[in-house]
Structure 1
Amino acid sequence: MFPTVARLSKASRAPLTPKRGNKDFYKGTRQAYLPGGRRTGAPGRHVIRGSSKYQLLDEKVRVYVAPQIEDIEDSELKPYVSLGAKLTEDHKNAVFSKFRGPRGLTPERFLRVCREHTYARLHPNRPVENPLSAPGWMRAQINLKLMDEPKFGGIPLKEYQETILEKRRTIADETGAAADVRRHLEVVETDDVPQKGKDASS
């Protein structure tokens, strides 16, 4: 590797960063800009003589504007979470549903859930193809109010599922009753048919 030529020794240097500068150098990232002045650079100055070795300048000190206290208290996001806080089942199932197998999140399950999420985002009016087989993460997000409850024919998902299941129970009961009637008729018909052995003996 060839050494840098003397006449170009300073041209190859990148702009200074706070790590390369001295103790008073602060480049700033323009993130603390506020209307009325630029609060970049060092927030004060060093004092050689005096009780305090560093003097803060009010016009240079960064100021952070916080939202209203009502907005902070009403927000679902909290600055601290207790170690004793327990997640509900809906919080646990809001992304990948419930893990039923010992392997946890498998690639096949991850792909299937990704397809379900993609389909729900592309079809907000009908986020699931079969209303009776709505995934667990969707039910959890509906309970947590993270997504609006979908409607099928103007009926919310839960009511629609209950209606369909009730119709299926009614049909099953009617089918079962009809099957019982058919079995009863078959028994009666077999009892009415005379047997050959009895006819021969008589």
Structure 2
Amino acid sequence: MFPTVARLSKASRRPLTTKRGNKDYYKGTRQAFLPGGHRTGAPGKHVVRGKSKYRLLDEKVRVFVAPPLHVIESSPLKPYVHTSVKQTKSERLAPYGKLRTAGGLTPEHYFNFLRTTALEQQRVTNGQLVERAQSSDGQQSPTLLNRAMETLGLR
């Protein structure tokens, strides 16, 4: 029989131990990690002799010093927002911008975006001004995109 695909793959699902980790990986107190950040270096060193194989050095252990408690309590900044505070409609819809419509993103949105970017590229390459949306008789200006859509039968 052949071994399974997972057995042959290079991905290993074994837990990461201090033997398999990087040179500054120490799992014991996770001191090499800052909260929300990357590893910043080992807080100690490996010792070959002796009973404990890893020695924490006090000058390398990171300590976070907070301001006094009365300063924190008198500060106008608070870490949490109360549950009774509600967002306004404009705050709720701000991340979506102009894309917040009933139908969401439609193919017409992408076609309009492609048309405007192709028109801007044509302006840059030709170095001349081309009418933006429509000519005087009501038909669209003959851009590369319009010609391609006509040849494909999309118009």
Judge same fold: TM > 0.5, yes or no.
Answer: no
TM-score normalised over the length of structure 1: 0.22
Higher RCO (C-alpha 8 Å, min separation 6): 1
Structure richer in helix, relative to its length: 1
Task: Name the larger-Rg structure.
Answer: 1
